Amino acid sequence: MTACEFCNDDYDMAFEVAAEGAVHVFDSPECAARQLAPVCTNGRSHTPGYGLQAEGQFFCCAHCAHRQRFAQLVDRT
């Protein structure tokens, strides 16, 4: 069995994710998202899906981007 690098659970159906030149092992999509997805600049959540970016900062939604003075950003979903 292979241990998940986020929660350390040994799971016989673990899977690999290749990202930025490295291979990671996880037991669930949730662990993969918690480990690999960028965190909102406001520090509230991970942005595994349709996050926004501006000047090297990541945001989970337009509301958080607007709080950091990026009024031009809008949600894409």
Q: Report the share of the chain in percent with pLDDT over 90.
A: 45
Q: State which amino acid sits at residue 24.
A: H
What integer best gives the mean pLDDT of the chain?
88
User: For 16-43, what is the mean pLDDT?
Assistant: 92
Q: Per residue, what are the HEC states of the chain?
A: CEECCCCCCEECCCEEEEECCEEEEECCHHHHHHHHCCECCCCCCECCCCCEEECCEEECCHHHHHHCCCCCCCCCC
Q: For residue 34, what are the contacts with CB-CB under 8 A and spacing of at least 6? A: 6, 46
- pTM beyond 0.85: the answer is no
The model's pLDDT over 32-62, given as tens digits with 9 standing for 90+, comes to 988 998 888 887 777 777 788 899 999 988 8
The C-alpha atoms of residue 24 and residue 76 are separated, in whole angstroms, by 28
